[in-house]
Amino acid sequence: MSIRNIPRRRAFTVPVGRIIVYLLAIIFAVLWFVPIWATITTASKDTPDFFSNPFWSLPHRFNLIENMITAWNNASLGQGFMNSLIYGVVGAAIAVLIAAIASYGLVVLKIKGAFLWFLVIFSGTLFPYQIYIVPLYQMYSNLGLYDSQIGMLIFYVAVCIPFCTLVLRSFFSTVPDEIAQAARVDGSSEFRIFCQLYLPLSVSALLVLFLFQFTWIWNDLLFGLVLSNSPEVRPVMASLSSLMGVYAGTSFTIILAGALVASLPTLVIFLGLQRYFMEGLTLVARPR
């Protein structure tokens, strides 16, 4: 065998495009991490340490737990935390369930005027939420729902239903009609078909929607300020905003510690449902 016929090893090369993508990913990761680092380090300092050292420096004494406890006790942040937990879990779950029932009627039962009913439901998301503030406040005041937990829960359920219906309608459209027809031939009721066939098939979509709606409810500040007044009803973001009032007199380190406390539930739920997150993005982008 001649030397010319010996195969040469190819040099390992990395495409330039991939290198650029990696560099951009590293840059964006650093830019994303800097404010998080600043928040954690600032929340871990006491007030003199915060004013005498740069925000990126490590605290001289780790004071994060004490700041969190102070923020929890001030401005009824703990009560707001529990209120938002109720609004987020119960409100998002009810909204997703109602949207699933509505989507089943629109897609599977094929009720008369299904597309018109869908437009009526989805019309709730066509206008900015700010235009609802005045009529919503007047209606809640007249009905006695202002500054009540049931009033806040009703609002959050109602505002989450249109988007959930949009996604679940698209998802149910991908399920073959033969499944429901075969179940009807076997004598199954529509309720049983919905509970034992469509709900199990759409678990991933339901969980992703629950994650999205819980996050939206938890981060809501506008309607928490408009529709509630007492600490027993206010959600966590409205309670947190009271720490930053003109007359609150609360240290900036305690405010950031309270913000870290308020961010924990969404972080925990996202980490628990992260395997469904990318699938949720494809569900939102999937054509109908």
* Every domain of the chain and the residues it spans: 14-62, 76-285
- pLDDT, residue 282, reads 61
Per-residue pLDDT at 14 exceeds 70: no
Q: How confident is the model at residue 279 (pLDDT cuts 50, 70, 90)?
A: low
Q: What is the pLDDT of residue 27?
A: 92
CA distance 125 to 117: 14
pLDDT band (50, 70, 90) for residue 93: very high
Contact (Cβ atoms closer than 8 angstroms) between residue 259 and residue 240: yes
- The structure tokens 């699938």 sit at 279
Q: Determine phi and psi for 78, rounding to 5 degrees.
A: -65, -40
Under 8 Å between Cβ of 157 and 95: yes
Which pLDDT does position 145 carry in this prediction? 92
Q: Which span out of 17-21, 54-58, 76-80, 138-142 was modeled with the highest average pLDDT?
A: 138-142
- Closest by CA position to 261, among listed 57, 79, 62: 79
Identify the pLDDT of residue 9. Answer: 55
HEC sequence for 40-82:
HHHHCCCHHHHHHCCCCCCCCCCCHHHHHHHHHHHHHHHHHHH
Q: How far does Cα 64 stand from its chain's mean position?
A: 26
Residue 75 has what pLDDT?
59
Report the C-alpha gap between 5 and 38 in whole angstroms: 61
Between 204 and 247, name the one with better pLDDT: 204
pLDDT at 3: 52
Q: Mean pLDDT over residues 9-26, rounded?
A: 75
Span 227-254, average pLDDT = 79
Instruction: State the CATH class of domain 76-285.
Output: mainly alpha
- pTM here is 0.81
CB atoms within 10 A of CB 250: 16
**Mean of pLDDT values over 232-243:** 87
Under the banding of pLDDT at 50, 70 and 90, the label for residue 247 is very low
